[in-house]
Structure 1
Amino acid sequence: MSGPVRWLSYGATAVLAEVAGPDQAQSLAAYARQAGLTALEIVPGATTVLFDGVADAGALQRALDGWRPGVVADHEGPLVEVPVVFDGPDLAPVAERWDTDEAGVVERLTGTELVSAFCGFAPGFAYLAGLPAELAVPRLATPRPRVPAGSVAMADTWCGIYPSASPGGWRLVGRTDAALWDPDRTDPALLAPGTRVRLRPVSGW
């Protein structure tokens, strides 16, 4: 396939598609799912989509020949509302960078529909896209040795929620009690790729 995708063999039964960015990866993955491809797994990343369990790599590429950047899925992913207490230690610095107050940060975040572009870093950690480039915030110069589970965080134009306690360098703006990863659920990841996400402000617990 020529054009926007570079195809790479990835083991005996997998193919890796390289694209220009997370929006294209999400679009290609959604297009592939709607095409009903015979792949056991379709896993988008930041600039790739992994197709695992592929019997015929050539047939897969031909089936996706009609995809181009900007192609939008025919249907939207499920919507998940995540309750958030916005009291994170980095809320004030983010407000200063955005030239607003803390309430303004909360209003912008809760008024934006985010989309889970891909999962990585830890089981259940979704990279949530949707913020414009002008609202990008830098990571901390020195990562925290321990970020509590449920911390709602930002880095660059990404939002994310730590599913478990771990070191981390993202800016912490809030916290949630939502279970991001539960291996006993049919779908262990609450915010699987393609899921639409709304952060809903709550007063606390």
Structure 2
Amino acid sequence: MTPGGHATRRNPAAGLRLHGSARRAVRPRAAWRALAGAAVVLLALLGGTGTAQAHDSLESTFPANGATVATMPQAVTLTMSNTPAAIGAEIKVLDAGGTNWAVGAVSVLDNVATQQVKPGAPAGKYTVEWRLVSSDSHPVGTGQNFTFTTKAAASPGAVAGPAQPAQQVSEAAAPPVADSGGIPWSVVGLIGVLVVVVVAMVVVARRRLGQAD
């Protein structure tokens, strides 16, 4: 009632306008909820993919890092946590003057990579520089050098180490592998698919809210 005794009338249209505004306010919130849910799924999948595709690691070497051996072995070996690829592998056996005494291509047997050494390598300290292609197709080993010292030069009867050469790959068939240093293509594809899914979810949510008006 008004002060003059007249009854007030409510405007139904005003209520409808208010109700419609509330619905429109819900639209961005629903879209953001869908986007946040998809982001959580994306992060979980990326975390699992990163763990599964962790690079292989070096477990041991022959000779051992920092070891002193009686004579230069016929070969040096690297034992990895998984089987590396033979193609693209490179191992250098460098003396104090920087001369590379490695000969032939790197051979791989299971998870052991073997590099033969030229006969006549002098006594002294050697640095082994290596680069292998991890089982997840990424290069590993750059900057992970190891050293050893020999008391005598290499001889024909020297021990070759714990593994014998296998899967010999010629140098011509072993082109250098570019270090992508980034996200594997499988992960890139997964991200693309999830982006499409998120967009589709937002579009569907907007259409449903529009039909509800």
Same fold (TM over 0.5): no
Q: Which has the larger radius of gyration?
A: 2
TM-score scaled to structure 1, two decimals? 0.25
Q: TM-score, normalised by structure 2?
A: 0.24
Q: Which has the higher strand share?
A: 1
